[in-house]
Amino acid sequence: MTLRWPNDARIAVSLVVNVEEGSERSLIRGDSGMEAVDELGMFFKGPIRNYANESNYLYGITTGAPRILRLLALHNCPATFTVCAQSLEHAPDLARAITAAGHEPCSHGYRWQFQYKMEEAAERDFIRRAADSIESTTGRRPAGWLSRYLQSGNTRRLLAEEGFLYHMDDFSAEEPFWDHSGPKPIIVLPYQLDTNDMKLWSDPAYTPRAWLDYLIDSFDQLYEEGAGMLSVGIHLRITGRPGRAKNFAKFLQHITSRPQTWIATRLEIAQHFAAQS
């Protein structure tokens, strides 16, 4: 099948904003230790509270989120917000702002935690609880799912049974495809790690300018080929910082200046694919 984008677009661009802040591990949430994902790489085992890292995550909600929302509005770019449900429970203003701007809420779990070790009943409850919570805070039930890194052998089947349209935990392609392995089919909407901003935390030598160059090269290559979907994933606490936000804005300027570019939510892309297949 040759997938054609709306209005003969040469490329589909999916902007994904991950909202994990407020759902990370912390003693104040009853966890046994701190969150291991820290820009400074300072992680200690045991019941230690990392106030510095907590403040970095809080920055994503208080400062990063408004900045990212402003940039998306300035360039008229719709985005998919992959949200941990608990994050929006703690930040109801952000939940309302996401839907008020026309962005899509997608589930990133109830909390920002691993689900691959969950028994089937526990994982189903995790999926259902996340969907119920996101529907309550945003007014929209999520149609898609992104796990924290790993999924179980039951995840995709459970998502389909719970009414989800698409699943993001796949890096094998640049276009959507159906997974018919379970009793109920589900669309797989591949994601990309190479264009994700997380490496700006994990690798200090990787600069925002290098990330911008890579994003533009990725876009331009797909645009020249006239096929495929580019996914760009960002985080409030990472790209929400001024120097990174400036380079993200330059990327938005680049893609919005090119004709035959379809910037869409992942739900719109999944629905378009489903209508053609």
What's the per-residue H, E or C state across 197-231? CCHHHHCCCCCHHHHHHHHHHHHHHHHHHCCCEEE
Reported confidence tier of residue 1, pLDDT bands at 50, 70, 90:
low
What pTM does this model have?
0.96
- CATH label of the domain that carries residue 58: 3.20.20.370
In a domain, 124, yes or no: yes
In a domain, 264, yes or no: yes
Rounded mean pLDDT of the chain? Answer: 95
In a domain, 22, yes or no: yes
In a domain, 1, yes or no: no
The total number of structural domains in the chain stands at 1
Condensed to tens digits (0 to 9), the pLDDT of residues 179-216 reads: 999 899 999 999 999 999 999 998 878 999 999 999 99
Condensed to tens digits (0 to 9), the pLDDT of residues 214-240 reads: 999 999 999 999 989 999 999 999 999
Percent of the chain with pLDDT over 90: 91
In a domain, 51, yes or no: yes
Q: Which domain holds residue 95?
A: 6-276
In a domain, 167, yes or no: yes
Q: Which residues pair with 231 in a beta bridge?
A: 14
